[in-house]
Amino acid sequence: MLKVRIIPILLYKNYGLVKGVSFDSNRRIGDALQFVRVYNIREVDELIFLDINATNELRSPDFDTIDDLADECFMPFTVGGGIRSIEDVRKLLMIGADKVAINTAAIEKPGIIKEASCHFGSQCIVVSIDFMIKENNNYEVFKRSGTEPTGLSPLDLAKRAEELGAGEILLTSIDRDGTMKGYELECIRTVCEAVSIPVIASGGCGNYNDMYEALIEGQASAIAASSIFSFTDQTPKEAKKYLYQKGIPVRL
């Protein structure tokens, strides 16, 4: 059985890391390089770095900053934000990213998923899906850092991403983001049951049991979290110990 991964997320905005609630990320929490070094010491399974302003500012990823971070990052490193072309993907992989997370471009230019997976392998292509609960308890995907509705359902987008060659889905609840009230289990489970590629649950983690529920009830393959590691004394290592005691296969 594959080991479950615990993956901290770093949100980058205007030269620093931020965190907020429901994608209102204006609270500064520190320096990206400092966080990478801390997570190196804590031996986390992977790290996700998302530049949340790049797409809305119509600019490319901050390659210089990412290059510096990749040099210091001793774990698998996923990078997203501002990716609009196959050349963006190529450059990120060349400077040290192990995977790229494609969000808005996966909706506006879905061919980039197929092209990137064909050129570089599906194992390094992550499609990032941000969603909210709308009328009648339906889920809708939002693009451009959660600012624009798309009319798409997370289920349909996840299935299309898999068909085009994505190797993984990062599924984030905008409503739950930063609230630490638990994951949106119904949506996670619906997507996980519909695709065969790994799904990373994101948005809402407040304690280790939330992770356990996302894995058991939501059927997620991996757990992503941010606020729990930034604003509490809970750690990825202790999370893995908790899950191990619950019978979840993790890397200790």
Does 30 score more than 80 pLDDT?
Answer: yes
Does 185 score more than 90 pLDDT?
Answer: yes
pLDDT tens digits, one per residue of 188-207? 999 999 999 999 999 999 99
pLDDT at 65: 95
pLDDT at 203: 97
CB-based contacts of 248: which residues, under 8 Å, 6+ apart? 4, 212, 215
pLDDT tens digits, one per residue of 236-251? 999 999 999 999 999 9
What is each CA distance from 87 to 113, 148, 179, 193, 195, in whole angstroms? 13, 25, 36, 33, 28
Model confidence at 14, pLDDT cuts 50, 70, 90, reads confident
pLDDT (mean) for 39-55: 93
pLDDT at 164: 98
Burial class of residue 64 (count of CB atoms within 10 Å of its CB; 0-12, 13-18, 19+): exposed
252, 240 contact by CB (below 8 A): yes
Does 31 score more than 70 pLDDT?
Answer: yes
Domain boundaries, the chain: 5-245
- In words, the CATH class of domain 5-245 is alpha beta
- Which two three-digit tokens encode residue 30? 């520190």
Does 43 score more than 90 pLDDT?
Answer: no
pLDDT at 24: 82
Model confidence at 1, pLDDT cuts 50, 70, 90, reads low
pLDDT tens digits, one per residue of 127-138? 999 999 987 889
